[in-house]
Structure 1
Amino acid sequence: MAYEHPSREKIKELLQNTSVIAVVGLSDKPDRTSYMVSEAMQQKGYRIIPVNPNAQEILGETCYSSLADIPFKVDIVNVFRRSEHCPPVAEEAVQIGAKILWLQLGIHSEEAAEIASKGGLEVIMDRCIKVEDSILLPK
């Protein structure tokens, strides 16, 4: 099954129904893309949950070592990891009952997409969540 991006209208609907975004690979360094994108999304009103085993807190939120450690529901799992690391993240996203697996710009994994899709998740790959949100839900 070849991956196809959801329509822009579908992505807009998904973002409108999102409040909690777990960010796998969120750096605690303010000059990193993952930090800048997550900070911007936080400023738009989304709750950003850092998944980084090497930090205690990022953007004022407690860091978790894995998705399984997050003690509440997550809408989107946003991934800032190299493509080859995405299949296990997709498996965890399915296990925690996330709604969406979002692989950031430059990240593409057919295997992760298949795992997530079979687990009932919407999949978005190789797109920047901040850019999509800015275009589809300008405030």
Structure 2
Amino acid sequence: MESAEGVDDAVGAEMRAYADELRASFLRLQEEAPALHEKARAVQVTEKSEDGLISATVGARGDLVRLDIDPRVYRRPDSRRLADAITETVHRAADKARARVVEVFDPIIPADQMRAHLDGDLQRVLDDMAARMLGKK
């Protein structure tokens, strides 16, 4: 049976190891992040609708940069269908742009952490950090 001191020493060693890992990650982030940030900001994704009549280009944050609508859409005037097709096309482009941003930062930020950050899921980020500090990840 392990003594309380032995357990405390093991937990302390895990916490020190995690702190060292965080320090190294932070230094790497400081060094590499500016270039990766510029690369991520330059991400643009273009998607076409299923019928090919709508083309939507979004930026890294899913913001609409360009929307092209083929004049043939007016052959079948249906504003609800057109609006739905535009929305769906923009959402697919935004999802792909988000995935590319995650890929850009993958060398320095684990994909799960980056997705949590982009989702604004602070609780998931904090839970992950706590699990790592306790040696559960």
TM-score tier (shorter): under 0.3
More strand by share: 1
More helix by share: 2
TM-score, normalising length: structure 2: 0.24
Higher alpha-carbon Rg: 2
TM-score, normalising length: structure 1: 0.23
